Amino acid sequence: YGLTITHSSLKRFLAEPVPTTSSPDARALSHAFGLLAIGKFILRLPSEILEEELPRLQLTLSKSLNDSQLLVREAAASAIIAAQLVLRDETYLFTMLASLSDEKKNLLTYLFDKHGARGPVEGVTGGSAPAGGLDKLEKEMKRLDSRTSTPLRKP
């Protein structure tokens, strides 16, 4: 329920025109903040529920991953990495996020490796997601959180 409400709020926010008194940077900070919230919800969902929700998130995540603002792209990537940590199957994840270009899939595969979020490796025994992957993602989300909650400096 929380994920659905957060996602619909973010979509509504993005559909509104930018107020003339607001800066594009403030809008990007709010956009990234919403994506980080979605990522945090994703981390707490069972994989079965996430499988139902990802098709609804697909367009938002894809558009955000192609946004002109770096912070928005990083927040979208973090949300997708969170989904990978829950699902542990990048092929299935990329099937559910079908609108992603091959370039973005390659970038995400690199980020999955970097964050320890890849699925089980053939020939290696082990349990579920390594704690290191979750720790790395949470550290990245905290870094992005600090950037979204810091007030903008006026020139």
Mean pLDDT, residues 6-29: 88
Give the pLDDT confidence of 37-87 residue by residue, as tens digits: 999 999 999 999 999 999 999 999 999 999 999 999 999 999 999 999 999
Mean pLDDT, residues 104-109: 94
20 backbone dihedrals φ, ψ, rounded to 5°: -65, -25
pLDDT value at residue 124: 40
Report the share of the chain in percent with pLDDT over 70: 87
- The amino acid at residue 101 is S
Alpha helices in the chain (DSSP H): 2-15, 24-43, 47-65, 70-87, 90-96, 102-114, 131-149
pTM: 0.83
Report the share of the chain in percent with pLDDT over 90: 61
Judge whether 72 and 31 are in contact, CB under 8 Å.
yes
| Contact residues for 66 (Cβ-Cβ < 8 A; gap 6+) | 73, 104
Judge whether 41 and 83 are in contact, CB under 8 Å.
no
Q: Which DSSP letter does residue 87 get?
A: H
